[in-house]
Amino acid sequence: MANQLIIHSGHPLIGQCRVPGDKSISHRAVIFGSIAEGHTRIRNFLNGHDCFATVNVMRALGVRIDERSATELVVHGVGLDGLQEPEDVLDCANSGTTIRLMTGLLAGQPFASVLTGTDQIRRRPMGRIVAPLRQMGARITGRQDGRLAPLSIAPTDLQAIEYDMPVASAQVKSCVLLAGLFAHGLTIVREPGPARDHTERMLISMGAPIEVLGGSTIHGERPQRPLKPLNITVPGDISSAAFLLAAGALTPGSNLTIADVGINPTRIGIVDALAEMGAAIQYKSRTEQGGEPTANLVVTTSQLRGTTFGGEQIVTMIDELPTLAVVATQAAGRTIIRDAAELRVKEVNRIDATVTELKKMGARITGTEDGFIIDGPTPLHGAVVDSHGDHRLAMAWTVAGLIAKGSTTIYNAHVTADSFPGFEMTLRALGAEIEEK
Ligand code: S3P
């Protein structure tokens, strides 16, 4: 896999492409399929590093998972009470979704387990899941009183809680709901913003007794009946499509279609944001796939204007904000992104890293406590930039490289495969000039 990408600008992006399956949905299909009764078939599974961390953890818990092809899995569900004590520490690699959802699943099991991952994962905050799980009675220990992994879970019986989430996080919500499936009583979760709802949708489709009330409150309890297995084709990941949407909107002369992308309302903040800035994006051929709405997204090059973003829209595009910052460098006027302090606890501190790297390319960008202030339009110039080991940053810098004068070299670019295997090839097929080293 390429460790360095060299991006040459000056080519329009034209044609039709697809993006790999949605990362959040792929993780959930494997985890929930594992505790269903029967065989779950997953097509268009994201064969990236993060989702394979989940596959390996489920295998270590005694679940048989067959790989029919690179993107098709069959998960032989063991039922709600069928997971087995793992022989070794569970390695979540670099995947925050894996460690946070698995901690919720394992907290109420009748056996002990230990979850860990890369040094990046061991720096990310776990207190946000450990706190509610401890309220449920979970016996979890970890470094710094459970704020950091490795997390060690002792067997116990869980009690349901009513939990008001302090941050809008789908990983926290999913963790508590998963623990709730194994707890006595009715678990109630209230969220402060519309965090992605794939967990609720999927578990409800499997027959779990979960109810969504008024959008912000979710009830769940221990199922009386086994969960039904899934037969699912995972929609294309809108977070991956976002790089292409941004590149299409910015690169002169572009006209591209991204087929079968998930357009769940809790995920389309980036499409709305680009449209608010003046980007021409259309939804075509809307349909549904695996209980999730999908469409083909069509984007053409557009003149953009600076805009202010904040509030509830932020959680619906949290992973896309570094890319939005790249876009904002080309918009006329000032763009302000606020209420996005969560960016500081992603794979890396995405506020600091974005400011550092985009400045190398000439961007007029300032980091704030909870976001960015960007003035545009600013011509970017090619530079040597670093992904900081963060897949989304490597791809955001690629978008910047496509419109910068001269060539841009991205170090530590192999991480694109965490969530978007084939990223470089997809762009090349649309006309981009990208070298790999
Ligand atoms: C995810 C939720 C988000 C997102 C991450 C995937 C998920 O994290 O950033 O890439 O699959 O639940 P938070 O829940 O921490 O916001």
State whether 8 and 51 are in the same domain. Answer: no
Same domain flag for 136 and 117: yes
Q: Which domain holds residue 82?
A: 23-233
Q: How far is CA 396 from the centre of its chain?
A: 15
Structure token digits, residue 22: 């949605």
Report how far ligand 1's centroid is from the alpha carbon of 171 (Å).
5
Is 90 exceeded by the pLDDT of residue 1?
no
Q: Compute the mean pLDDT over every residue in the chain, rounded to the nearest whole number.
A: 97
Rounded to two decimals, the pTM is: 0.98
Task: Pick the closest to residue 258 from 234, 240, 278, 277 (CA basis).
Answer: 240
291 shares its domain with 193: no
- Same domain, residue pair 54 and 130: yes
Residues 74 and 204 in one domain: yes
Query: Mean pLDDT across the stretch 310-331?
Result: 98
The mean per-residue pLDDT over the stretch 390-400 comes to: 98
| Number of domains observed in the structure of the chain | 2
Asked if 49 and 74 sit in the same domain, the reply is: yes
Structure tokens at 117: 């991952």
Supply the pLDDT for residue 221: 86
| Same domain as 280, residue 177 | no
Among 188, 214, 233, identify where a domain stops. Answer: 233
What value, to the nearest 5°, has the Cα angle with vertex 346 and ends 419 and 13? 40
Strand, helix or coil at 180? Answer: helix
Could you tell me the distance, in angstroms and rounded to a whole number, from the CA of residue 406 to the centre of ligand 1? Answer: 35
Do both 341 and 422 map to the same domain? yes
CB atoms within 10 A of CB 366: 12
Question: What average pLDDT does range 366-377 have in this prediction?
Answer: 98
Q: State which of 175, 196, 415 you would mutate to test the pocket of ligand 1, scoring each by most atoms of that ligand within 8 A of its C-beta.
A: 196
354 and 271 both lie in a single domain = yes
Assess whether pLDDT exceeds 90 at residue 4.
yes
- Residue 260 falls in the annotated catalytic set: no
% of the chain beyond a pLDDT of 70: 100
List pocket residues of ligand 1, CB cut-off 6 Å. Answer: 24, 97, 169-171, 174, 196, 318-319, 342
Question: Nearest 5 degrees, angle CA 27-CA 29-CA 35?
Answer: 110
Do 254 and 353 fall within a single domain? yes
Which of 217, 233, 249 is the C-terminal boundary of a domain? Answer: 233
CATH number at residue 60: 3.65.10.10
Name every residue whose Cβ is closer than 8 Å to that of residue 139 and which is 6 or more positions away in sequence: 153, 154, 155, 156
Q: Which of 23, 24, 264, 321 to mutate to test the pocket of ligand 1 (most atoms within 8 A of CB)?
A: 24
Pick from 296, 356, 303: nearest CA to 327: 303
User: Using 50, 70 and 90 to split pLDDT, how confident is the model at 152?
Assistant: very high
* Separation between Cα atoms, residue 112 and residue 152, nearest integer Å: 8
* 99 membership: H or E segment, kind and range: helix 96-106
Query: Of 22, 50, 197, 319, which residue is the catalytic one?
Result: 319
Q: Which of 91, 172, 96, 102 is nearest to 348 (CA)?
A: 96
Looking at residue 217, its pLDDT comes to 85
The residue assigned the tokens 């991952």 is 117
pLDDT of 109 > 70? The answer is yes
Whether residues 163 and 109 fall in one domain: yes
In this structure, the residue with its CA closest to atom 10 of ligand 1 is 319
Model pLDDT, residue 215: 64
CB 432 within 8 A of CB 402: yes
AA letter at 427: L
Residues 259 and 221 placed together within one structural domain of the fold:
no
Residue-wise pLDDT for 159-171, tens only, equals 999 999 999 999 9
Domain boundary among 233, 250, 271: 233
Distance 132 CA to ligand 1 centre (A): 17
pLDDT digits (tens, 9 = 90+) for 178-225: 999 999 999 999 999 999 999 999 999 999 999 999 768 888 888 899
